[in-house]
């Protein structure tokens, strides 16, 4: 009976689940570093063997000395080593791979801390301390298992690039002023996906980010930051087509090398940054970065959505027309930035930059900007969206940005047939030449705008009547000039009879054969409207 009860108890115990084992810590991470004294000779042929976690007390002998140490890795694994050289007055800390190929070199002494936060040690590696003597030093080597989300030096080449997964941050450091940190980002994007890249600020460092092709590491784009760095709406197809848009064969893409460089005096090995690259869904009309210059302008058809970020961002858009057209452009406001809207004509071969046609900055943050009518030639023209200039401490800067709220840009093209005024037409030199009779509409916008129109009167022409319609909320005036070749134009008629809203007219004016110009403006530049159009008739 007792035997039967014992067997039953054993069977019940076997059915019970075993208690889970407590999590085990890495033996290297848990072990305290071992204290070691330097032992000569320890040159490159007879490097002193030290544990993966050790504090070495040594000295450099006069006149010059090199001390080599070999770090072995148990089981032939890969370790992340933190290497630090203390107490040295003026020395260099160098690391080498298992085959004695130099991987890193930093200075220790003075303002240089002599620290390598995390370097890869595969199977074995070497650490070298060198400098003039006599001077004492303390070398700390702390090996541990590599941690996810941590940069491992060396990663200054494409073949050594640190993997970067979309949406997962990685922490790294600017090891020295010359340090380059390469990251390999691989993605499988949809047709409209875009990339958002963020790099946190490090005091005293200005970051630069290079975007390079995975295929051959060729440079595709460069971005600059003042402290932190943000890139929004980066095309995932920069390597697939010349303008960064979708390739003819459909959605391709695949990722980039992201190369981070820090401009500073000495680097910042003790102050880590965080880099994050995330794939985001993009609107069908989303701007495509980089588009900070006309050569990389985003193609614009009817609408575009974009962000002014980071500070100093410029968004260029390219418009193509087969014949001269009149452009109407509207830009919604951004919550946290005052925006400026401008139109440019292509500069043509040999010119350095496009020719400015019109610019407007009449509103402030959250207010829209409008270019009612701008004449663009056949071919390519451009629209530029950027933060408006403002004066801070006596300097003009364009530092506005809005990282969260997108703006929306819309454009319309209409035939340049003489029925609509077109900017620029602020003086006789830029005024369009119209044929009689004249019937057109136009806008006094922005403030201080002047619209000038030229026409020719033949011999024996009947007297002309010139009528300028009333515009709600806008006081207008009309002037008639006789053009006299190289001599200054002469005012031969004017109308400002109606104060405020009212029609202005010059009736039955006899004109001899010659060239003339009409000027429309607001007295004392006090009124303007981007929505209320005037009409002008000359017959």
Per-residue pLDDT of the chain (539 residues; tens, 9 = 90+): 344 433 344 344 433 433 444 444 455 556 899 999 999 999 999 999 999 999 999 999 999 999 999 999 877 788 999 999 999 999 999 999 999 999 999 999 999 999 999 999 999 999 999 999 899 999 999 999 999 999 999 999 999 999 999 999 999 999 999 999 999 999 988 888 999 999 999 999 999 999 999 999 999 999 999 899 999 999 999 987 555 454 444 344 589 999 999 999 999 999 999 999 999 998 889 999 999 999 999 999 999 999 999 888 999 999 999 999 999 999 999 999 999 999 999 988 777 789 999 999 999 999 999 999 999 999 999 999 999 999 988 899 998 999 999 999 999 999 999 999 999 999 999 999 999 999 999 999 999 999 999 999 999 999 999 999 999 999 999 999 999 999 999 999 999 976 667 899 999 999 999 999 999 999 999 999 999 999 999 99
> The domain at 158-281 falls in which architecture?
Sandwich (2.60)
Q: What is the CATH number of domain 294-415?
A: 2.60.120.380
> The domain at 28-144 falls in which architecture?
Sandwich (2.60)
Q: Mind giving me the DSSP string for 196-250?
A: EEEE---TT-EEEEEEEETTT--EEEEEE-SSSEEEEEEES-TTTSTTSS--TTS
> Residues of CATH 2.60.120.380 domain(s) within the chain?
28-144, 158-281, 294-415, 433-538
Report d(CA 449, CA 464) in Å as an integer. 25
Report d(CA 520, CA 512) in Å as an integer. 22
Q: What is the CATH number of domain 433-538?
A: 2.60.120.380
157-181 in b/e form (b: 16+ CB < 10 A) is eeeebbebebeeebebbbbbeebbb
- The C-alpha torsion from 291 through 295 and 299 to 303, rounded to 10°, is 50
Q: Which residues contact 352 (CB under 8 A, 6 or more apart)?
A: none
Q: Which residues contact 415 (CB under 8 A, 6 or more apart)?
A: 323, 325, 326
Q: Which residues contact 262 (CB under 8 A, 6 or more apart)?
A: 174, 177, 179, 202, 205, 206, 207, 208, 268
């Amino acid at each position: 009976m007792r035997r039967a009860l014992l067997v039953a108890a054993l069977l019940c115990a076997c059915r019970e689940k075993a208690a889970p084992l407590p999590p085990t810590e890495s033996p290297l991470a848990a072990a305290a570093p071992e204290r070691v004294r330097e032992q000569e000779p320890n040159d490159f042929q007879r490097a002193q063997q030290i544990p993966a976690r050790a504090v070495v007390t040594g000295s450099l002998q006069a006149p010059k000395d090199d001390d080599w140490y070999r770090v072995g890795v148990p089981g032939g694994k890969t370790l992340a080593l933190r290497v630090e050289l203390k107490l040295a007055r003026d020395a260099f800390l160098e690391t080498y791979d298992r085959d004695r190929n130099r991987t890193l070199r930093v200075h220790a002494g003075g303002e240089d801390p002599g620290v390598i936060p995390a370097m890869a040690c595969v199977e074995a590696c070497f650490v070298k301390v060198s400098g003039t003597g006599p001077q004492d030093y303390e070398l700390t080597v702390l090996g541990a298992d590599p941690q996810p989300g941590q940069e491992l030096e060396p990663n200054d080449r494409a073949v050594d690039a640190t993997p970067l997964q979309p949406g997962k941050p990685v922490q790294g450091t600017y090891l020295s002023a010359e340090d380059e940190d390469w990251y390999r980002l691989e993605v499988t994007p949809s047709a409209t996906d875009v990339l958002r890249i963020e790099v946190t600020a490090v005091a005293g460092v200005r970051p630069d980010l290079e975007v390079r092709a995975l295929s051959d590491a060729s440079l595709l784009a460069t971005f600059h930051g003042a402290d932190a760095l943000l890139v929004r709406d980066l095309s995932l197809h920069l390597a697939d087509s010349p303008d960064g848009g979708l390739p003819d064969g459909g959605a391709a893409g695949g990722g980039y090398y992201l190369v981070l460089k820090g401009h500073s005096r000495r680097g910042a090995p003790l102050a880590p940054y965080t880099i994050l690259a995330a794939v985001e869904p993009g609107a069908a009309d989303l701007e495509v970065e980089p588009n900070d210059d006309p050569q990389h302008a985003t193609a614009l058809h009817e609408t575009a959505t974009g962000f002014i970020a980071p500070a100093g961002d410029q968004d260029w858009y390219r418009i193509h027309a087969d014949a001269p057209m009149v452009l109407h452009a509207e830009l919604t406001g951004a919550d946290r930035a005052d925006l400026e809207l401008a139109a440019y004509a292509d500069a043509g071969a040999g010119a350095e930059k496009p020719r400015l046609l019109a610019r407007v900055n009449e509103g402030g943050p959250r207010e829209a900007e409008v270019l009612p009518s701008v004449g663009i030639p056949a071919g390519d023209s451009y629209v530029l969206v950027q933060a408006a200039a403002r004066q801070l401490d006596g300097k003009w800067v364009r530092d506005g940005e809005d990282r969260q709220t997108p703006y929306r840009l819309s454009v319309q093209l209409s035939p340049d047939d003489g029925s609509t005024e077109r900017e620029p037409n602020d003086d006789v030199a830029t005024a369009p030449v119209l044929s009689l009779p004249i019937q057109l509409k136009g806008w006094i916008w922005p403030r201080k705008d002047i619209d000038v129109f030229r026409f020719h009167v033949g011999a024996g022409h009947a007297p002309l009547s010139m009528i300028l319609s009333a515009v709600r909320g806008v006081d207008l005036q009309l002037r008639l000039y006789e053009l006299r070749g190289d001599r200054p134009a002469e005012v031969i008629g004017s109308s400002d009879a109606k104060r405020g809203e009212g029609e202005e007219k010059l009736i039955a004016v006899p004109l001899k054969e010659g060239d003339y110009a009409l000027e429309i403006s607001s007295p004392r530049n006090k009124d303007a409207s981007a929505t209320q159009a005037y009409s002008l008739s000359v017959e």
